[in-house]
């Protein structure tokens, strides 16, 4: 009798100058309770004097393969790993993220049990550069998720939290290499359009944020969302309501990123474009996003006054006087 433990899984790690985080990522693969895996570390043109190549090639595990690739970006590295591998199931791990030991085992059990599933995800902890947990991503949605995913990439912080059937890529294609942002979100939408999606109700990975946060990086991500939106609208042939969902999610996030990158003018332009798709988009239940919109509408001085007037927590933080 065949069990899920008999099925091989290909693991693809794209990396670029990611030491020492890469070491933690690879160790988390080696520690998996599911042992039938092959790991492809695709070096996207690292300029670290050979440190990445030396480390990966020095790992005494025949399941680990090092691949050197010219620098073309994370999506191109993932796609190259897909071409080089051949197992029926595929999982991705970004080089600064970490898997928990049962990740492959739990997801593979679901995929092998239900042939209608194209992808399985799980719960995820968000960590900083030091590994400290800062928040959690714990979405719990299953089934036909296309419309749900139009409202945002809510089910995963990165590609590190999913597993897919290889046949999915053969049918719908791989990651878009022209997207600097939202390449995983766009792929999940393509998956959801053709397959059902399920999740494991356990924390399976840790998604690291903050390691590369800087003004240029924020602006790069915001412009990437600006670029992706019209392409996704055309690709998925969205009607007015679904366009409004996608634009609210895409441009709302771009507003935040532009402000983080100190480009207020572009943030305002993104906000106005968002309202052109959905005039009520600013009435969001997302507290952080709401403050972003109020900053754009009212300006920082007015917003600070209102927060001081109506928020005891903010007033205490500003004055140092706590009840």
The alpha-carbon radius of gyration of the chain (Å, integer) is 21
Predicted confidence (pLDDT) at residue 237 exceeds the cutoff of 80: yes
Question: Number of structural domains, the chain?
Answer: 2
Q: Give 30-76 pLDDT, tens digit per residue.
A: 999 999 999 999 999 999 999 999 999 999 999 999 999 999 999 99
Same domain assignment for residues 30 and 175: yes
Residues 156 and 65 both lie in one domain: yes
Residues 196 and 245 in one domain: no
Each residue of 240-253: pLDDT tens digit?
Answer: 999 999 999 999 99
Tell me if residue 67 falls in helix, strand or coil.
Answer: strand
Domain C-terminal end among 173, 208, 243: 208
Q: Cα 60 to chain center, whole Å?
A: 30
Bridge pairing between strands 196-208 and 117-127: parallel
CB contact burial 27-38 (16+ within 10 A = b; e otherwise): ebbeebebebbb
Model pLDDT, residue 154: 87
Return phi, psi of residue 8, to 5°. Answer: -80, 150
- Do 87 and 67 lie in one domain? The reply is yes
Check which CATH number belongs to the domain holding 160 and give it: 3.90.550.10
Name the pLDDT band for 79 (thresholds 50, 70, 90).
Answer: very high
Q: 212, exposed or middle or buried, with CB in 10 Å at 0-12, 13-18, 19+?
A: exposed
> Do 49 and 127 belong together in one domain?
yes
Do 199 and 223 fall within a single domain?
A: no
**Lowest-confidence range among 125-134, 162-171, 181-190?**
125-134
User: Based on the domain organization, do 173 and 222 belong to the same domain?
Assistant: no
pLDDT-derived band of residue 321, with 50, 70 and 90 as boundaries?
A: low
Question: Do 155 and 301 belong together in one domain?
Answer: no
Same domain, 115 and 236: no
pTM of the shown model: 0.89
CA pseudo-torsion sign 249, 206, 160, 67:
positive
pLDDT band for position 310 (50/70/90)?
low
DSSP class of residue 78 equals H
Q: What is the mean pLDDT of residues 272-284?
A: 88
**Is-cis flag, bond preceding 20, omega within 30?**
yes
DSSP of 243-290: HHHHHHHHHHHHHHHHHHTT-HHHHHHHHHHHHHH-TTTTS-S-HHHH
Domain of residue 290: give its range: 215-319
Same domain flag for 204 and 220: no
Same domain for 153 and 220, yes or no, is no
Flag whether pLDDT at 306 surpasses 90.
no
- Report the pLDDT value the prediction gives residue 316, as an integer from 0 to 100: 65
Same domain, yes or no, for 192 and 267?
Answer: no
Boundary (domain end) residue, out of 139, 174, 208? 208
Q: Is the pLDDT of residue 282 over 90?
A: no
Query: Is 315's pLDDT higher than 80?
Result: no
- Dist CA 221 CA 261 (whole Å): 10
Residue 291 confidence (pLDDT): 75
Average pLDDT of the chain is 91
Instruction: Quote the pLDDT of residue 86.
Output: 95
Is the model's pLDDT at 313 over the cut of 70? Answer: no
pLDDT at 290: 77
Instruction: Give the pLDDT score at 157.
Output: 75
Of 208, 228, 257, which residue is a domain's last?
208
CA 296, distance to chain mean position in Å, is 26
What pLDDT score was predicted for residue 263? 93
Residue range 104-153, pLDDT digits in tens: 999 999 999 999 999 999 999 999 999 999 899 999 999 999 999 999 99
**Regarding beta strands 98-99 and 196-208, do their DSSP bridges make them parallel or antiparallel, or are they unpaired?**
antiparallel
């Amino acid at each position: 009798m065949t069990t899920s433990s008999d099925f091989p899984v290909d693991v693809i790690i794209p990396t670029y100058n990611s030491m020492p985080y890469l070491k933690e990522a690879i160790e988390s693969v080696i520690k998996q309770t599911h042992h039938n895996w092959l790991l492809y570390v695709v070096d996207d043109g690292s300029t670290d004097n050979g440190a990445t190549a030396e480390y990966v090639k020095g790992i005494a595990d025949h399941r680990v393969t090092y691949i050197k690739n010219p620098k073309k970006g994370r999506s191109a590295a993932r796609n190259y790993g897909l071409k080089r591998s051949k197992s029926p199931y595929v999982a991705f791990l970004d080089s600064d993220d970490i898997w928990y030991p049962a990740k492959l085992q739990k997801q593979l059990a679901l995929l092998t049990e239900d042939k209608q599933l194209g992808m399985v995800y799980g719960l995820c902890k968000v960590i900083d550069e030091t590994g400290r947990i800062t928040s959690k991503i714990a979405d719990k949605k299953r089934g036909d998720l296309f419309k749900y995913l139009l409202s945002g990439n809510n089910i995963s912080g990165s590609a590190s939290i999913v597993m897919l059937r290889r046949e999915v890529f053969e049918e719908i294609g791989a990651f878009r290499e022209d997207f600097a942002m939202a390449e995983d979100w766009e792929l999940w939408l393509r998956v959801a359009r053709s397959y059902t999606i399920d999740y494991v109700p356990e924390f399976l990975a840790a998604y690291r944020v903050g390691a590369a946060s800087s003004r240029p990086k924020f602006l790069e991500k915001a412009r990437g969302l600006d670029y992706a939106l019209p392409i996704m609208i055309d690709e998925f042939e969205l009607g007015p309501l679904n366009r409004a969902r996608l634009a609210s999610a895409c441009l709302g996030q771009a507003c935040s990123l532009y402000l983080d990158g100190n480009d207020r003018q572009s943030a305002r332009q993104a906000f106005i474009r968002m309202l052109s798709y959905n005039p009520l988009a600013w009435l969001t239940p997302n507290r952080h996003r709401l403050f972003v919109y109020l900053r754009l509408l009212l300006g920082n001085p007015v917003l600070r006054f209102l927060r001081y007037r109506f928020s005891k927590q903010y007033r205490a933080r500003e004055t140092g006087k706590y009840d």
